Structure 1
Amino acid sequence: MDLEEIQSIINREANAILNIPVTEQYNKAVDLIIEQVHTKKGKLVISGMGKAGQIGQNIATTFCSTGTPAIFLHPSEAQHGDLGILQDNDLLLLITNSGKTREIIELIDLARGMYADIPIIVITGNKDSVLAKEANVLLLTGSPAEVCPLELTPTTSTTVMTVMGDILVVETMKRIGFTANEYAKRHHGGYLGDVSREKSK
């Protein structure tokens, strides 16, 4: 294994993170999360297909453990009844690198068929995509090149999406004043549960 190549991959992924566009859209996204989830008592419904969906699942569980109720809705399963999880005070966070993912486009139509005014945050690398134009809040990845030698496998793009999710989680935690005591209530087991209970004393 070429150690220089390993360092190159690390550098390329790190540079992609450093080049995430930092805009006021992050503040607008957190405002929406606060309004829909913490004021209107809805939930954050996150969806994505394939690797982006796996990132979405991680973001959803991280939000849950830090005081913001969130779920992952698989876009295909949504078409077979799972869309019923949506309520009129919810908020959608849709993740797609291309901005053209058919199942996500269809999910928007289905969700708005139930609740025409449901707000939507989109994370994508394509500012000119159908999904970008449908978003109430648009968070751009910077469209980094994948480190995959074929430039096909989601690698760098999913790294960036993970960081963008972390930004939303951390800023929401700050806005709601989330404490170690509240963390401990949601994370009883394991090492982190022990640490949070120590911090909350």
Structure 2
Amino acid sequence: MQVNQPRQYAISDMLEAEIKALQSIPQTNDYERAIGIILEYIHEGRGRLITSGMGKAGQIALNIATTFSSTGTPAYFVHPSEAQHGDLGMVCPGDVLLIISNSGKTREVLELVELARQMIPDIPTILITGKVDSPLASMVDVCLSTGNPPEICPLGLTPTTSTTVMTVLGDLLVVSVMQRIGFGHHEYALRHHGGYLGAKSREEARNSK
């Protein structure tokens, strides 16, 4: 019986695969609609951005939430499983869901969206996924495709290139919203009191007066 051996990648192959994955992110994604929802519900309506995902995608969702929060958009992460044990109460009318699922069929995430809509039927939902024809994609208001790049994991399983493109899509949303709301050094300094970034932002804020 022949056993398939894991593929071996050289460092140069891995770098090339990651770069190719980034270049394959669709420019045709409806970024404007996603940005518009965040601006309307959070910066005009005073809601909050709720990010969620399971496993590695959940870690990316947490990172996106903290980056949004530090740049002027109130955001927090809700774990899909904990949501079923009371944390769903953190979701309020006027909030926006930003869901991350590479497969678009993660059971816990599907259930989170269903439960959130039982409480708030019209809650706007944005999805970052590798599968635009998935069950989750059919449930949301805006679907942002990663381009579904193959993983560089030698087994083809461990989230690697997929998490890279998820992170970049999150960055696109964060920076776009920062620009639209005119988020500057003074606002940044108010949210960063310690470390190098805090000192740098205060210095830039003083120099811009």
Matched letter for residue 126 of structure 2: I
Question: Are positions 1:46 and 2:51 aligned together?
Answer: yes
Q: Distance in 1 between matches of 2:52 and 2:96?
A: 11
Partner SS state of residue 115, structure 2: helix
The structure 1 segments of at least 4 consecutive aligned residues displaced by more than 6 Å after TM superposition are none
Does 1:119 pair with 2:124? yes
In the alignment, what sits opposite 1:156? Answer: 161
State the alpha-carbon separation in 1 of the partners of residues 196 and 45 from structure 2: 33
Cα deviation for residue 127 of structure 1 reads 1.0
Please tell me whether the aligned partners of residues 29 and 143 of structure 2 are also in contact (alpha carbons under 8 angstroms).
no
Q: Secondary structure at the match of 2:199?
A: helix
Alignment partner of 1:7 is 2:12: yes
1:64 to 69, 93, 97: 69
> For residue 107 of structure 1, what is the aligned residue in structure 2?
112
Amino acid at match of 2:116: A
- Find the aligned partners of 1:185 and 1:23 in 2 and give their Cα distance: 36
Unmatched runs of 5 consecutive residues or more in structure 1: none
TM-score by length of 1: 0.97
In 2: Cα distance, 1:48 partner to 1:64 partner: 17
SS of alignment partner, residue 20 of structure 2: helix
Deviation at 1:23, TM superposition (A): 2.2
Give the superposition deviation at 1:160: 0.4
Contact kept? 2:146, 2:165, Cα under 8 Å? yes
TM-score where L is the length of structure 2 = 0.93
SS in 1 for 2:136: helix
- Determine the C-alpha separation between the residues in 2 that align with 1:125 and 1:200: 40
Which residue does 1:191 correspond to in 2? 196
Cα offset for 1:22?
A: 1.1
Determine the C-alpha separation between the residues in 2 that align with 1:87 and 1:95. 20
Q: How does 1:12-23 map to 2 (within 5 A)?
A: 12-23=17-28
Residue 92 (structure 2) pairs with residue 87 (structure 1)? yes
Q: Distance in 2 between matches of 1:50 and 1:137?
A: 22
- RMSD, aligned CA: 0.8
Q: How far apart, in 2, do the equivalents of 1:179 and 1:12 lie? A: 35
| Secondary structure of residue in 1 paired with 2:137 | helix
Q: Is the 8 A contact 2:29 2:144 kept in 1?
A: no
Q: Which amino acid aligns with 1:105?
A: L
Deviations 1:175-195 (Å, cap 9, x if unpaired)? 000001000000110000011
- 2:4 alignment partner in structure 1: none
**1:76-105 Cα deviation digits (max 9, x unpaired):** 000000000011100000000000000010
Larger radius of gyration: 2
Post-superposition offset of 1:24: 5.0
Aligned residues: 198
Structure 1 residue 135: deviation in Å? 1.1
The CA deviation at 1:7 is 1.2
